[in-house]
Amino acid sequence: MENYDVVVIGAGVLGLSAGYSIARQGARVLILDKGRVGYEASSRAMGFQSLRGENPPEIPLAAVANDLWHTLDEELGYPTEWTPSGRLWVALNDEELADFRRTAALWQSHQLPVRMIDAAEVRELVPALTDRVVGGLFTERGGHANPQRTTQAFGWACRDRGGIIRELTPALGIEVRQDRVVGVRTTAGIVGAKSVVICAGPQTPLLAKSIGIDVPLVAARLEACITAPVPPLFSTAMVANGLSVRQTGRGNILFCGGPHEWVDVDLTSEPAKPTSAIVQGEARRLLELLPNLKSVPLLRTWAGIVEVSPDHACILERAKAPEGLIIASASGHGIGLAPALGRVIGELALGAAPSIPVESLSLDRFASLSSDWASERRWVAGEYNT
């Protein structure tokens, strides 16, 4: 039987960043995935990064991640296309502007550098915006990267340091002996391990449940679109008119938003990813926001499956029992927080104290959560988040 210091289940950006951190410490690490590397949400995300004042427990992680992003290409040895041009929220009406003022007050109460800006300054950042703009919220502490490049960079850097990545090898369960993890059961047999990290996105609850641990996560299918390349219009990571929007280094406009559909997943098969009518709404809102794009072709659309926690915040848990088990979820924040999350997961997996305070992101915060919480919120397969 093969044996490793750590087996990581999930080869999304979270598992790859954790694997890189573990391999960097000289430990033997194996990363397993039921599909291809970064094939779900990680390579299909927006790639935004900023401080996270709306989720106070994530503030320390986001602050460290923001610092790490600036030297990440050099550290990993591969490009991520990191663009440190800030993050902008655009208000198209007074109601949105009032909401942004409340958000700014919350962020500022945590000493985070965010400020309200008027319509003129918003249009200085993005001159092509509709004249409906009434103001916005802006932080210079943020930016965006190419999710696919970032996922590749972590994976390649992990391999360069001795980590092993095994695709098309679903994990079926966790092997436990005398209240300690001893390995992972896969479709290709059992792999031994001193520690096991479950960061398998939407499959995480299924694996944890098999050993009696409840992880409150629900799977959602998100759809995104990308246009043909256009001349440079803006460089900031922008949220506006119900969309997240960025311009890639090649000039394409990448955007997503609108309702997402809750779906069911299993441990071995790939979830369906149809293109739905949601794409029409996304395209309409983009043209409302950036009218000059009306004659630009839409190149392609795609979907990815992401897991969401009840409070939309990360989960980081070093289980008391069985010993040696770590459970991690980015709850949709994987790309932006990846440098910091990978570091902390690596520390937890190797038995070290986390260098970033993450105690408030443990499963303990869900102790009073109803067992039917997802049904009560209608976060069930076939429903939408409207």
Residue 375 lies in a domain: no
Whether residue 355 sits in one domain with residue 225: no
Q: What pLDDT was estimated at residue 276?
A: 87
Residue 191, in any domain of the structure: yes
Q: Are residues 52 and 189 in the same domain?
A: yes
CA 113 to chain centre: 22
Answer whether residue 256 is part of any domain.
yes
Looking up residue 354, the CATH number of its domain turns out to be 3.50.50.60
Note whether 175 and 247 are same-domain residues.
no
Same domain assignment for residues 361 and 242: no
What phi and psi, each to the nearest 5 degrees, are found at residue 79? -80, 140
Ranges assigned E (strand) in the chain: 3-9, 29-32, 48-50, 87-91, 115-118, 135-139, 142-144, 164-166, 171-177, 180-186, 189-198, 218-227, 237-240, 243-247, 253-257, 261-263, 298-308, 315-318, 325-329
Q: Which amino acid is it at 7? A: V
Q: Does residue 371 register a pLDDT over 70? A: yes
Q: Do 224 and 300 sit in the same domain of this protein? A: yes
pLDDT in tens, 49-103: 988 888 899 999 999 999 999 999 999 999 999 999 999 999 999 999 999 999 9
Task: Mark whether 167 and 207 lie in a shared domain.
Answer: yes
User: What range defines the domain where residue 105 resides?
Assistant: 87-140+219-308
CATH number at residue 108: 3.30.9.10
In this structure, are 179 and 56 located in the same domain? Answer: yes
Closest CA to 349 of 329, 320, 325: 325
- Regarding whether 296 and 152 lie in a shared domain, the answer is no
pLDDT at site 150? 96
**pLDDT at residue number 272:** 87
The residue with greater pLDDT, 42 or 356, is: 356
Digit-coded pLDDT (tens) for 205-242: 999 999 999 999 999 998 999 999 999 999 999 999 99
Q: Are residues 153 and 296 in the same domain?
A: no
Tell me how many domains the chain contains.
Answer: 2
State how far the Cα of 11 lies from the Cα of 14, in Å rounded to an integer: 7
**Radius of gyration for the chain, computed over Cα atoms and rounded to the nearest angstrom:** 21
Q: Are residues 279 and 228 in the same domain?
A: yes
Q: Are 232 and 278 in the same domain?
A: yes
Q: Is the predicted pLDDT of residue 149 greater than 90, yes or no?
A: yes
Kindly state the average pLDDT of the residues 110-139: 97
User: Does some domain include residue 386?
Assistant: no
- Residues 276-293: tens digit of each pLDDT: 889 999 999 999 999 999
Do 224 and 299 reside in the same domain of the chain?
A: yes
Reported pTM: 0.96
